[in-house]
Structure 1
Amino acid sequence: MNKYQAPKFKAAFLTPRYWGTLIIISIMYSLSLLPFKLQLLLGRGIGRLAMRLMKKRQVTIKRNLELCFPKMAEHERAAILKDNIDNTGIALFETAMAWFWSDKRVNKHVTIVGMEHLEALEAQGKGALMLAVHSMNLELGARAFGIKKSGMGVYRPNNNPCFDYFQYKGRSRSNRTLIDRKNVKGMLEALNTGQRVWYAPDHDYGVRRSTFAPLFAVERACTTTGTSLLVDATDCAIVPFTMVRGEDGHYTLTLSAPVDGFPKNDPEQAAVFVNKIVEKSIMACPSQYMWLHRRFKTRPEGECCLYKPRLAPAI
């Protein structure tokens, strides 16, 4: 199987060109050593500061919430927006936790529910497509899962080779292997041999291998047909995977039972089916979802852009 080749540390990473990257990694490592509650507090502050400096991102979050929940009271959307900004900052710390914490510290803060579903599939020798969404704490969830069970993550190498080295090292800890997102053959082989593959079909990946399907109140959201490609060719199970941080700060990773009724050999209906799973996963905790992504940027031919310039909301 052509897995992504692990990047090697190079002497060139010590040259001035990469000093900024090394400083960022050093800061992430240092932050991961702080007491957990302090990390959450600092994360909220960083999120609020970052959004004041990057107002366009805040506008994108607000617009996504308007598009998805037009019938929701404005004050409710505003509350999600405020919490989402906090969680955007906390995500920096959660990534550092995923990359640098010991297994013991991860286990202390994360509870896994539903592992029996995967154990049953494992006994059958059946592969599992771990269908996730881009929650802010997805990296930490994948790390916590990897401590218990091996799995393969679909991976996009970073354009910065120095950062890619540390990103790969962090993401491949605890029984995890990585595979390039373009290596479909490798994903199929993994699923056909009873392995587990993490897959997040919730973003707008452009028109290639995509169709338009409803997502919340948006009737035509550009949705990848990659899920159909993987399931139709392997007959793997689809296991929804969600990670939520509770009000007490403790995380719960939930593995749902394999879903029934996936529309085989029908990519368009399958996209509708998958988006229903995505909606349910997002609603487990809307404020911890990555709303800053322009989810609806790709439109059917002839439709206007859903993201128009607007004034940034006040925090």
Structure 2
Amino acid sequence: MLRIDGITRRFGEVTALDDVSLEIGQGEFFALLGPSGCGKTTLLRIIAGFETPDRGTVTLDGDDLLAKPPNRRPISLMFQSYALFPHMTVAKNVAYGLEREKLPRQEVKQRVGEVLETVGLSAHAGRRPAQLSGGQRQRVALARSIVKRPRLLLLDEPLSALDKKVRADMQLELKRLQHEVGITFVVVTHDQEEAMSLADRIAVFDNGRVRQVDEPVALYERPRSPFVADFVGANNLFHGTAGGLDGIKSDEFGMLAGTPLEDLEAGAPALLAVRPEKIELAGESANRGLKGSVLDVSFYGGVSHISVEVPGRDKPVLVAVQGAGSVEAGAKVRVRWKAEDAVIMAVDA
């Protein structure tokens, strides 16, 4: 539905977007994920019409989107701050865009009623934003965005102003609403958990470039570049050289087992990434694994994070286990993993 082709945007010496190309399908929940300053919000503003690219095209259903002013694009943008009118009721806030289009009063009333029912705010139609919780204000902003029935809804860090519990609830709500209203959602976020829980597909940005586009599970389990491996979720990274199909050769630890994502020339610089939950702890007397000592055990309710200091490695190896950890700080252990649970990639990817 939405095709972004070769978009480049520079601000003086800074290149915010560097030849970005993406395709987003009808009814898809698509996330633009990356650290602050990576270009994801600039791309959102170009789609919305608030920025003009230096080069490239954006088409919606084959029509040139860049040729249309912002108010003529079938797009709604939900701001991070929600930008609600404090002096208007919930119903008036939601109706504002429809009234500006001079739609019949009865149609406005009907559509506002329907969308407030959808977001569960019918009982709050007469209240003002100051009388609502953060989660309720977020729903008002969402209702105002979808009441105009846009082809595309852009969301800029939509949940960042909410506390953790409300944010988790609203993630489920956003997903439900997106399926219910059938609108294509494009969300900008730097929160990996948010992107993973919401999106059908995720584009990971770094320094104005797209590093990988994939479904959440594939992105997590098969990162295709060192940046994605390090940025998306916790990971244990080991540097070395490609050693064929068996793993990588490390100066400090010898041969480390892993599975290459692509054919790598023997001896080429390579990186092995293994997730904390894929690592197994064994006793010091076990016949394989890297020797180390437990630095710290942190309990997070359903899972424990165990930091293991391994001689020859700058950073501790992070191990995740279900429930409470069964080891204590100072314990001598070995850390090991299966070859199929670790991925190997080229360092210059």
Fold conserved between structures, TM > 0.5: no
Larger Rg: 2
User: What TM-score results when the alignment is normalised by the length of structure 2?
Assistant: 0.29
User: What TM-score results when the alignment is normalised by the length of structure 1?
Assistant: 0.32
- Higher share in strand: 2
